[in-house]
Structures are given as structure tokens and as C-alpha cells.
Structure 1
């Protein structure tokens, strides 16, 4: 046997081994949990989808099954999509927005939330194009964006159309920059009124890949874990429920007529998850988000709040937040959330360009979001102290975790749920004498209501877009890039 002694021969061998490794990686993409992976003949008439998804919490979509096709409806946008098995006869259905052969072999997604659902299903091997690429925090999607997935060229509509047309399906959000409608599918998971409803959209995406088994299994585990967290939180913290306010500040810019405003958010899904976390929600007599024209009016609404979660569109330190909120001297401020230093931002996980993980995995994994919020409301709910996933305490200068492609270990593996197993967590009972609860009014479980009738309010949030409009704006391809830049600049 002749030894490989030359540099050229060694390089050739390494190249061969590398190519083999890459081929093995692609060949080992799992097909478990997928049904009807092959095309059929046009005469096929048997039920190809014995495993079906049933909607439990979500109100924004529905799925109806037939032998060789499915009818998926987005109820928020009134769009109907017919998914028919490749090779079968295209069904006759009226008022259809798009006919999509399934299982989908090539896909694209504009919004970060859609991309994470595809990764959670383990079908990222089908993804050819992604929007808002610089904002993506997922390590493995970042890795795939190096050589496998091509970012959308959103600066050239002609190029974008060509990219879209190469895919079987393009997942987008209403109002996105998409002029090609033949394979466009709108997803509106962000409009759901419950956290579990948002996560259940995994079934919507799963239908396009005949991945009902995967989607059902994943969601059932999320649902079960969520219910366990909610049950334990209710048992341990029913008498000690801090008040949480979701707030934000917008400085004067050309986009708001150079007029600053302060906002309290009341997205519907936040109500349920705050209560399930053993806390109470700051409510107002307005409907959804309420915007204040002056900081004193805004601060009056926060007078009896215990915890503030700041969702401003820029990242900054604690002193800047206090300044923006109109608090000159925190030692003189008579607010519980200032005195106890319980000011959080959901920006703990970021990409190198400042994209927030908050607009990715929390939508897909409601149980992880609930677990993290319990940690905000009750920081000592685990014996050894809780380490947050997405929230960081701004008052305590908690650090930011930057995720890079180097953090990916298997770019084709399904996205792992970051939640811990509730059954394995030993909840610690709340102690009223603890400093974390010293200013929390006990024995009250209803939300705190603030009357805005005498305040300087810009609007009462009655717009139809007020339901979590911040998340919707941030995840659209039109603004995500700009916000990521602003966020990155603000960190300098």
C-alpha cells in the first residue's frame, strides 16, 4: 500500500473527506415525523394524511383535510391556501389565494418569526431565502446564511421577485414588500391573543411540509409544560402578585413629527401570560396600547407598578432609561420599580448587528416565555436563583449575550426549546418579608386599572393595528433592518 506523502495528495484526501462529511450531513436530515414525502399519481384517492393537526388555541388559522389535499385558511387576512399532494390532480376549490404542491421542497421566509417556526420543525434544509437576515439571532440560521441560504435582495424588487419565484412557498406578513402572489402565504401569528395561540402556528407551517406529526408533538409538549408552569405559579404566588407594566419611550424623530411619546402596551397575549406567571397586569381605561404626550402623565400611570418591562426600540443603559422616562434623581423617585431596581428589557439575546432574539423563539415557545416571565415576577422561584433567557435586569446592568454562527452545533437539527422541564423544577414559595416583595400589595389578584381620562393621552389604542403592533412593526422586512442599525448605534 502506497503512503500519501505529498502535500498535494494530502490536500486531495482532506477535500474528499470534507466533501463526504458534507454529503453525510445533507443525507442525514431526518424524515421522521413527516408523512406522504413522495409524489403520487393523479389517480390517487386514498387518505394521504392520516396524521392531522387540530387547532386548540389559535384563532387566526384553520386546517381542513381531504384525501389528497388540505385547505389552510388565514382568518386574519381572509386568505385561503390549497395544499395538494404533488402528482395528484389539482383540486377545484373557489376563492383560493394560492395552490401549493406539498410537501414543500423549497421555501422562503421574510419575517424572523416564520424562520424560527421552520427551524423548530427541522425543515430548514428546504429554506432557500430569508429576509431580515442581519437581524436573525438563531445561530444555525446564521450559519446557513453563510453558504446555503441566500438573503433576499430587498433593495431590488426585480431581484427579489426572481428569488421568490424559485421557491414553492414564500412566507410573508401582510404589508410586506412582496409583489409576487402566486406562491405567497401570509402568516399572522403575532396577532394571536394568547401566547399558546401564537405557538400553535407551528401547525400552520407544518401543514406545508406534511410535518403534522412533528408539529403536533412539539406543540403538545409546549402546551403541557406551559400548563405545568401556570399551575405551579398559581399555587405558590396566588397571594403575592406584583404588578407588571410593559412600557416604551420614543424620542422625537421625523417619524413622529419630532414629538416624543411614552407608551404602555396591552397586547392581549400579555394579559394571560402575566397572570399565568403569578403576576398582575397594569391596565388602563384605554383599549390596548395607551400613548402619553408627557412624561409626568406617563409616570402617574406607573405610580403603583412593581416591575417595568421596557420595550423601547433602542438599547440603552439604566441611567438613560430614567432620563428618558423623566426621572432626574432615582433616590427621590417614589416608585417601587425604581426603589427595588426591577426594570427589565427583553434584549438579553442579540445578534452582532443588534437583532433581538425576543422577536424569534418566544413566539414559538410559549412555555419558555412563561418560565422567563415567572423569573421576572418571582426571581427566587428556583432555589439556586433563576438565569433569564430573554429578559435582563437593566437596573442591575445584566449583560447582553451575543449569538453568532459559531454557536451552532448542527445546522439541520430542529430548534431546541429553551424551556426547562417544569416537572423537574422545585418552585420556591414566595416570602412576603423578602425585599423583592416588600412593596407588593398582597391578597389581590386582579389587574391594576389606571384611569387615563384626565391624563395627557395621545390615543387610546383603539386602532385595529394596536394589538402588539410593536412586534408586528419590528418583524416586517420594511423596518427590521433600520431598527437593528438604530439598536446597534445606541449601544456604542
Structure 2
């Protein structure tokens, strides 16, 4: 009887343990299920109106920046993870998932194109710039002062950046640009642990699309709202200028470009440059063409079509009528040459010779358009002074 009671008691104890174990397992399973069913972090995708070459996604505690078209006909897209140092310390992700990992508190930056300088200044983060290849090309007075004060180091040339100086600066990130994706210098920089992000603003097919790349810098510096506001103002000013140009009573005929080794290069009709002329409401004589890159024509073809053009814009890098005539007397056959109706941006330079248009023109297409309207329709924008374009010397 005693043994029977002991066995009964033991069985009861085992049963109780099994019930308790099942309860623990059940609770544990419910807890795990609950974690799996937690909603994903809210994703805020980029809202871009014109730019096609990049996008970004905000996952609340980190962001992913994707460069879709860093150079013409690029086969690869590049992804970059952006988060705080604290978040990166606890995050886990496949090592090959991203082409670079960047902290969202950038303190030191290197950029490689003058078109990047205005975005930094507009967002108020120019103090992060510590190095640039070819500082003499920078025209901005604000950044030139930082260069003169020794706060921005010279890095040589884009084709062969001085990696020794760059690695000494140890920037948080390098903003580069590529023509075909082959750049040994950038590969060396990446191997040292410094992220290189390709900026493809120059590949975009319209002026407003290029200008919208300020949002790219807004993502890097946690200034998305500021970047949106700045771009919206530029876009609004551009569209307003376009409306004003539409009221012009006459469309002057326009020639562009110049010869190089007996070939005349000028914008095709689907280029951003031609779009400026269309929005300025002028008759660009090659507006009906299309394609990639510039048109390459013979002198005879250009003369036949544009000899009597009212205005000649951007005659390559020539800065005076004397230069044009010395290079080739053929230029004197055009009415625009003889009527002194040639305009160029090459004479608007910074203290060390950098051409302002190549720096600020991409970021401020509204100013470029207003310049063209003022030149081609002098009665419009009465009190406006051109920012880039001047009559040829």
C-alpha cells in the first residue's frame, strides 16, 4: 500500500511537472510569435520630382541610400547604410549587403566636384569639407576663405587624388563621381575603410533633376526637410521665370558652341542645355535633334543654318572676339560675331580662376534660365542682372 501511494505520488508529481513544462513552452512560443508579428519599421521612401539617379528609404532608425545611375549606362547600383554610431554598434547585416556604411553625424568630408560645393553651403554644412582635388577651381567666397585659412587641403587632381593626404585627413566619407566605374584611387580609399559614394548629378537629363541632388546631401547630413525646402524654392523660381519667358513677343534665333579641330560641337535638342533655351522661349536652331552627347557638325553645315542667327551663346572656352578671330577667321562670317551678340559664362570667375557656372550653375538652374531670358528678351526681367553670362570681351 505504501509503495502504491509512493508511485501515485510520483506520477502526480511528474504530471504536474509536465503541465508546468507545457505552460512554459506555450508561453515561450506565444512570446516568439509576438516578436515575429511585430510590424516592420515605418518606411518613408524618397519623394523625388525629377531626379532618376538616386533614391533613399528611411527606416526610422536607419536609412538606405541607393545610387541607381552613377555614370552613363552603369550596370551596377550602389547601396549605402546610414545610421548613428550607436545604432551601427548593435545592428547586424550581411557584410556584402552595402557598398558603404556611414554614420549620420558626418564631421569630415571630401568632395571631388565643384558642383558639390553649393549644396554644402546651402545646407550650412560647408565646415565639414576638409579636402578637395584642385582647390583653385572653387569660386565660392565662403569656401575660398576656408581654403585660405588652411581648413581645406589640396588633394591633387581627380584622375590621381593624393591618397596619402586624404588618408591623413581620414574623412567620414568621400563623395566621388565616375565616368565608367574604373577608378583605382577610389578602390584604394575604400580598402582603407573610408566609404566612397558616387554622385551622379551630372548624368541627369534635365536642369531641375540635377538641382534636386541637393536632397542627396540632405540625406547624408540629416537635413532632408531643409533640402526639400531649398529645392522647392529653386524649382518655383525656375518655373516662374519660364512663365515670364512665355510672354515674349519674339523668339530670337540662337547658335551655340564652337569648333574644335574643324568639328563644331553644340548641344543636341534633347540636352539640358537645349531645355534651358526652350524654357527661355527662344528658337534654338538645332532644337529638333536628339541623342546622347553633343552634336558634331562641319563648319559648312553650321554656317548654312546659323549664319544669320540673332545670338550666339557659349562659344566654347573662348573669352573674347579677338581670341575667336585668331583661332579661325571663319567665325567672322556670322552675323552674331559682327553684331557683337555673343555671350559666354567663361569670364565670370572666382579669385583663383574657377568658372562660377561650373560650380553654381547645376545647383541654381533658376539663375541660369533668368540669365538667358535677360539676354534673349531684354525687355523682360527689367531689374535683373545676369549671374553667369556676360557679353564676350
Structure-1-length-normalised TM-score: 0.62
Q: CA distance change for structure 1 residues 48 and 365 in 2, over 3 Å: closer, same or farther?
A: farther
Q: Indicate the residue corresponding to 2:346 in structure 1.
A: 347
Residue 340 to residue 158, structure 1, CA distance change in 2 (3 Å): closer
1:125 aligns to what? 127
* Equivalent of 1:243 in 250, 253, 258: 253
Across the aligned residues of Structure 1 and Structure 2, the Cα RMSD in angstroms comes to 2.7
User: Quick one: distance in 2 between partners of 1:141 and 1:85?
Assistant: 28
Most deviating of 269-278 and 106-115: 269-278
Runs of 4+ in 1 over 2 A off after TM superposition: 45-50, 89-95, 153-158, 175-179, 243-246, 259-262, 284-288, 294-306, 322-328, 335-341, 351-354
**Residue 194 in structure 1 maps to residue 192 in structure 2:** no
- Give 2:295's aligned residue: 290
How far apart, in 2, do the equivalents of 1:65 and 1:101 lie? 14
1:216-247 Cα offsets, whole Å, 9 max, x none, are 1111111111111111211x11x411232330
Note the C-alpha offset of 1:162. 1.2
Is residue 205 of structure 1 aligned with residue 210 of structure 2? no
Corresponding residue for 2:65? 72
For 1:128 and 1:160, locate their aligned partners in 2 and report how far apart those are by CA, in whole Å: 11
Q: Describe the shift of the 1:248–1:352 C-alpha distance in structure 2 as closer, same or farther (beyond 3 A).
A: farther
Q: Is it true that 1:62 corresponds to 2:50 in the alignment?
A: no
Q: How many residues align?
A: 332
Structure 1 gaps of 5+ residues are: 1-44, 251-258, 398-492
1:135 to 129, 134, 137: 137
Residue pairs, 1:82-481, within 5 angstroms: 82-88=81-87, 89-90=90-91, 92=93, 95-146=97-148, 147-154=150-157, 157-163=162-168, 166-175=170-179, 177-179=185-187, 180-181=189-190, 182-234=194-246, 236-237=247-248, 239-250=249-260, 259-266=261-268, 268-283=271-286, 285=289, 287=291, 288-292=293-297, 294-313=298-317, 315-327=318-330, 330=332, 333=333, 335-383=334-382, 386-394=384-392, 397=393
Q: Residue 330 of structure 2 aligns to a residue in which SS?
A: coil
What displacement does 1:327 show? 2.9
State how far apart, in whole Å, the 2-side matches of 1:367 and 1:276 are: 11
**Which one has a bigger Cα radius of gyration?**
2
Q: CA separation of 1:311/1:357 partners in 2, compared to 1, >3 Å: closer, same or farther?
A: farther
Alpha-carbon shift at residue 383 of structure 1 (Å): 3.5
Instruction: Note the residue ranges of structure 2 that are not aligned, 5 or more in a row.
Output: 1-38, 71-76
Preserved contact between residue 153 and residue 159 of structure 1 (Cα < 8 Å): no
Distance 2:40 2:114 in 1: 37
- What is the SS of the residue equivalent to 1:363? coil
What is the CA distance between 1:272 and its match in structure 2? 2.2
- Paired with 1:356 and 1:111, the residues of 2 have a C-alpha distance of 13
Residue matched to 1:435: none
Q: What secondary structure sits across from 1:108 in the alignment?
A: strand
The answer for the alignment partner of 1:14 in structure 2 is none
Do the aligned residues in 2 keep the contact of 1:206 with 1:214 (CA within 8 Å)? yes
Equivalent residues of 2:271, 2:290 under 8 A apart: no
